[in-house]
């Protein structure tokens, strides 16, 4: 699955520094968005990450300073 994710990110042309880390406790693919230089990652089988993402959404819903334009 990680290999497919890496291939798709490369094909998009919008990501750089794409790195798969299959041996991590939770397998992950790290990358950087070419235009914004923002870093991101995609993890597999990580329920905590889903909860953290939901928490971040709650923060943005509560505080308008956190809205992305």
Share above pLDDT 90 across residues of the chain, in percent, rounded to a whole number: 62
Q: What is the DSSP string of the chain?
A: -HHHHHHHHHHHSSEEEEEEETTSSS-EEEEEETTT--EEEEESS-HHHHHHHHHHHHHHHH-GGG---
- Whether pLDDT at 65 is above 90: no
Tell me the pTM.
0.69
At 14 the pLDDT is 95
- Whether pLDDT at 44 is above 90: no
Taking a C-beta distance cutoff of 8 angstroms, is the pair 19, 30 a contact? yes
Q: Can you list the domains of the chain with their CATH numbers?
A: 2-64 (3.30.460.10)
> Each residue of 4-38: pLDDT tens digit?
999 999 999 999 999 999 998 889 999 999 999 99
């Amino acid at each position: 699955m990680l290999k497919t994710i890496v291939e798709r990110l490369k094909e998009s042309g919008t990501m750089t520094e794409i790195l798969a880390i299959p041996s991590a406790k939770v397998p992950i693919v790290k990358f950087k968005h070419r235009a914004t230089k923002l870093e991101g990652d995609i993890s597999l089988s990580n329920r905590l990450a889903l909860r953290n993402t939901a928490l971040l959404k709650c923060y943005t819903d509560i505080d308008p300073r956190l809205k992305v334009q």
